[in-house]
Structure 1
């Protein structure tokens, strides 16, 4: 606006100062007036204004619903000058029983669904307060909370609600402010009330004491909290990560006999339809194996997501993958941030309860003071009426003689020493109150009022009495609205282990040159005599062949080590079980290996102990020893296991106890034996020390950890092999040139394996073309170190042995024909498991000691 009477007023100011001040004002406004709840009633301003406006509109239980548009308009016009959508969204959330553990608004109409469907427009829906919400507003008209002017100074609004309900804990809160956020999980009312009562009785109680009553969050959607560490951290520090899993069961479909997984509860704020889409997309992309169909059968009766499985698929293995790759497992990042006296603070569980107790104690005190004052005022009036009744004839005479009301008032006050209020009440008294019955009622009321006044004074004079009232009111609240816990808490991950549902069995694990991995029970391979031709272990393409052979239990971890020293791990039962001649699944779909990484070794581990070590050997003869426990928490992208020099490669890794002898063997037939104690412990990223001095063009191909009195088996790429006594391998200092372990020639080819064996062991060999043979070790004769050995496996032209594994003899050998051919169909490799249920008894099985595969 411009004109001759308008004076321009321009104040120059640095923009950084203006931005700083304006942003600070904005930040404080968002923090205090928008995003964070008050620690006392657990409400943000918008929620508090909605509840108060509905209370003022008379939208209480038992009264008719009113259009949500009426509520939104009233809130906007009187208390909350912001967007109507923000107000309506807040109202909708207080209606949803899947968002709030104890809804504060009773809605009629479409208020959205757990699948993420939006609510109908506010012109269609109706609302009123719930009985729970009424406890939040109870005594608000008794001077229990402070009121401030609204935005236009027309009306007054409460700064906080009296809040008998511990709303901040039972319904939780979530909000993003400027530079801070809050995410308080909901809890069970009965548990919170018990905790508050205990805190009132024992003011010095600790968080440990409180946790005996409050087990953990109790989400409106149920589900399962997985582990108590996150809960403990949240309650003790004010923030923590709580893992939530969907509730699922495995059952058999009667019509087909196939297994299916049925999900009935999902983590808090997770959409079943969204999970349905995730599972469908992952199954189509072949990232989730074993799923034939997925359907969302949820209806008004409840949640039901059905995942049908293919035949012979273990349900709990698939379920574990679903937890890993979908929102069926979520982490709730709890941050217990709230406003304390207008200042944001991160609070422990104990502090939240203490602030609530303090608030309720203040409300009870102010309410009692208000009721005392009101009772005293009533007593004062009743005393005046009593005087009038006792002198009724004189009172009537005085009034009749008076000229007008003021003169009658003055005469009464002067004659009976009455106050202005008493005199006015007498003058307004109806003649009907002069009956004997009414006089008796008057006397009884005065007696009751005086008794109530005495009680109020006793309450105000005694804090224990006020605390007793606090406990009684909370107990009454719990009896009226308390319910059973919906969210189950599993103490630790061990209680939820899927190994309990999987029989322990030794598996042959193979990895091909092209990166395909599979597992098959050891029992699927028949034993053959020395010199047998073997059976097909996998149909391979011309450019692919089996490179690694490995044996481990279904309950073991398999540690994958790449040639460049990176480490990954996986449970054996998570590896896809395939037919004997199948290629398997891409290993990249099992672990997060890079496409250009190649496996060097696979190691079975039952647990990551501090008393055991991993011993590494490289192609260039370097060895390194590291404590096994350093590998107990690998990242999804893998961890560095050993630093590999340029041009070198990792060829083997084995678990040891640190007290054994080590034998290294080379491709040219050399070997060295030295004490493991000669190799000191090193960190994961160390390079290691020299184990053997190599000739030009020679390289290390295998490593043996000598654990018992046995023989050393040497196998060549052309199927030759022999056993030699350990005594022939004298102990030397590491770093030497070593001694001959096999006389190499064109007939033998290069050495490909060195194994420690016993006479009762069996040998499993696999070739480049995918042919596998299983022969008894006792059929291979013992000979000197400097010999060529005997033919162990007959090879077809162009084929070579690529890997060897040792298998401990089974309790019952299976018969084969004299030719050594496998003439029987292998037992089915399928494993069928129902869940939940007791741990299946593991079948009789061979014990194995896994070989360490090489290139």
Structure 2
């Protein structure tokens, strides 16, 4: 069946190519690439034009649409170009016409368009049936002498017309107007340069073809954009003009205007090249709408016929210079521009500097002027020969008239004159075609004067053709003439150095208090005080609960620590503002986190002060102290290492503001107190040392700083709060097991899950505390943790429904770090006064445990 179908297809098709697809595609694409590189997207180094631009200008010239002639409809021009030279869509032709007419895209526009030809706000031009156009004076200088066989012509697409492969180009258009395009494997981005500077550089190159790059570049100061602005980066300009590749910064031109007393406005008069003004104004205004800059009152586009003007009104007392720098940093008021000077040289694309481009242009001009000189020389010699015949004719005029009257026709007249007086065929033709009225004023002196002028012109043309020095002088004279007629003052200011702008975004944020909530499941929310006060309930997922809840400033920073030893650096103002009853933002949407990563501690920081330490502790008892300033970073798009962990270890506790003691508590109820000076300080990415010895069946749950006079509370898995005193814990050296302060039952034991320091100030002020279970969070005050002496503490919730998870107590006014200057001397303990767990052997190797817990009654 398949073979029958193939046979039918074979009979139907006239030609079948039996070749691998990759070969066909490769060959076809290679031809297509060659075409779009050479004949579509990249400019020729000689005239700086792409084929469509060249065809448009040539067609308009053929239509006689010079700069001082009437306009013609753009649709007629596009039709002429499409029908004769450019077999593509009329929209691509019209778009190229429009661009060549826009004075905000072209430094020297090549087309003078009458009507709406678009705007710097991104408005498109009116349809081609509405607009009219003609050549500009500059375009005429590109086309000048094209009728004198100066450039090669080739047949058009249907072999019915001839079109030029390049224009004579009386100024280096590739540098003056620049170019932009993308082809297969190549792209070009050449900015415009000042015509006067480019001409001066070209003349300097003509004078010395061995001129150095540095000297040549001294003539061209840098790009000169039609939209003006300020360019920064002299080194980038030098690199680009030498190699064809380099980076510069373009900045808008602005000034600060006083509106009223202590109130200013920023005024923008020039914007970077090829920027959409309307989008720029919108992006600046969005900073105001999104409240990223609070000090902007209004952004207005006041552009009119007098010129561009964008006004940014500021609030009273606002720092205009700071806001302007922020706008440079955050909007397109300042952009980077990358040179990529790729052009077609000898039918091949090259990325080159200024020197090869000028050399290509000068070689082209030598060829153009040589061709023109040959054309004019032939013409002058012919005219000289005719003038010689006319002068001779004047002396025998009467006899010539008689011969012509006796002749039967023109050919007979010519033949008789040639035989009688020895005129050549060309001279005889000129005589017999001479109109009768010319005989009345044929002046022998005028003819002799003309003959003298022609002889002089012929000598000069011969000099051009035989002496390169004269040829160069002609090129220089014509360049100077173009400069006089087309040159204009520089619009763009060049600054040597790129100004480094460093903006602290916090300076843009008002110092306003907000409510921050962080949940155990990893949701972070920021709400205004009004939203918080208006909400009856907090928005939480099922079984989620707060582990951090505090009123803090927008200017604060959250350090969110995870069990994997990482921390997430989150400026408060960067957190999305939400209602208090919303869920908040999942931490994984702020920065990427591992699936097994969970939040274990949240610390808010106003200033990263070097005198403040953080205490970090792991499940296996490793601890370290780290300066708070070590946690400050400028880039925070991912989680940052806060402590290096050993295998099978986790970070469980982070505490801030160093005090004399460090208290470590384990799950099995052991407590260790040692002096802060005993624990070394390490960097944020380092590991720690053994702070508390942990048994195989135990793990550290919390470590915190404490004063001697402080209490501390512990939350058990069964939801009990147990309160104890720091002073009752004996001071040991670190790396000890400590003493048991919570005796666990054999069944359903009171494992410790969390703990917190409780100072006298906090008790006196009765501060708020969060008690988080596996199901919810209880907001209580610390006075509710009081209980009568019971070794298993106070029951806070039903242990059959939920389990203890985390306890958080709000800081009080005494949260000031204590500077630990030196390590104290080793303390020798009195065995009687030390409260330790001892083992004593009594009758038949039975062990009994002595502990201060024996002072309490069982529950």
Would the TM-score normalized by the shorter structure come out above 0.5? yes
Q: Higher Cα Rg: structure 1 or 2? A: 2
Residues 1:647 and 2:650 are matched in the alignment: yes
1:221 Cα deviation from its structure 2 partner:
1.3
The partner residue of 1:103 within 105, 109, 113 is 109
Q: What residue in structure 2 maps to residue 524 of structure 1?
A: none
SS at match of 1:454: helix
The corresponding residue for 1:66 is 72
Alignment partner of 2:183 out of 152, 177, 184:
177
Are 1:216 and 2:241 matched, yes or no? no
The aligned runs of 1:253-652 (5 Å cut-off) are 253-254=259-260, 257-392=262-397, 395-396=400-401, 398-399=403-404, 402=407, 404-430=409-435, 438-494=443-499, 543-545=548-550, 637=637, 644-645=644-645, 647-648=650-651
1:235-254 alignment to 2 at 5 Å?
235-254=241-260
Q: Quick one: distance in 2 between partners of 1:229 and 1:622?
A: 51
The equivalent residue for 1:207 is 213
5+ residue gaps, structure 1, are 518-540, 552-557, 577-585, 606-614, 654-662, 703-713, 721-736, 753-766, 771-796, 808-855
CA deviation after TM superposition for structure 1 residue 51, in Å: 0.9
- Indicate conservation of the 8 Å contact 1:170/1:188, yes or no: yes
Equivalent residue for 1:521? none
Q: Partners in 2 of 1:33 and 1:265 — Cα distance?
A: 35
Provide the aligned C-alpha RMSD in A.
5.3
Provide the C-alpha distance between the structure 1 equivalents of 2:437 and 2:188, rounded to a whole number of angstroms: 62
Q: Matches of 2:193 and 2:567 in 1, distance apart?
A: 44
Instruction: Give the conservation status (yes or no) of the 8 Å contact 1:183–1:333.
Output: yes
* Cα displacement (A) at 1:437: 6.3
1:134 aligned partner: 140
Instruction: Report the CA distance shift for 1:562/1:362 in structure 2 as closer, same or farther (over 3 A).
Output: farther
Going from structure 1 to structure 2, the CA distance change for 1:278 and 1:439 (only over 3 Å counts) comes to same
1:674-693 aligned within 5 A: 688=686
Closer/same/farther in 2, CA of residues 190 and 513 from structure 1, 3 Å limit? farther
Residues 385-421 of structure 1, C-alpha deviations (whole Å, 9 max, x = no match): 2333344455456556655443442343345443211
Change (3 A) 1:227 1:405: closer
1:90 corresponds to which of 90, 96, 106 = 96
Matches of 1:617 and 1:352, distance apart in 2 = 65
Work out which structure has the larger RCO, using CA pairs closer than 8 Å and 6 or more positions apart in sequence: 1
CA distance in 2, matches of 1:298, 1:307: 13
Q: CA deviation digits over 1:270-296, x for unaligned, max 9?
A: 222112222333433334443232222
Distance 1:669 1:320, change over 3 A: farther
Secondary structure of 1:211's match? helix
**CA-to-aligned-CA distance 1:217-257 (integer Å, 9 cap, x gap):** 22111222243444344333323333322223333323x85
User: Is 2:373–2:464's contact at 8 Å kept on the other side of the alignment?
Assistant: yes
Say whether the 8 Å CA contact 2:653–2:701 is kept in structure 1.
Answer: no
Deviation at 1:698, TM superposition (A): 8.6
List per-residue Cα deviations over 1:516-563 (Å, max 9, x = no partner). 99xxxxxxxxxxxxxxxxxxxxxxx99544899999xxxxxx999988
Mapped contact 1:547–1:803 kept (Cα < 8 A): no
Q: Is the 8 A contact 1:252 1:259 kept in 2?
A: yes
Give the Å deviation of 1:604.
Answer: 9.9
C-alpha offsets along residues 167-214 of structure 1, whole Å, 9 cap, x if unaligned? Answer: 111111112222322221111112211221222222222332233222
Equivalents in 1 of 2:214, 2:606: separation in Å?
42
What does the per-residue CA deviation read over 1:5-38, in whole Å, with 9 as the maximum and x for residues that have no partner?
Answer: 9994444443333322322232222222222211
Deviations for 1:617-653, whole angstroms, at most 9, x for unmatched residues? 975779999xx9xx99x76847968884363599899
Change beyond 3 A, Cα 1:457–1:117: same
Does 2:51 correspond to 1:51? no
Q: Distance in 2 between matches of 1:278 and 1:562?
A: 36
Distance 1:227 1:650 in 2: 50
The match for 1:115 is 121
Partner of 2:802: none
Contact 2:623 2:691 in 1 (8 A): no
- Structure 2 counterparts to residues 841-852 of structure 1, below 5 A: none
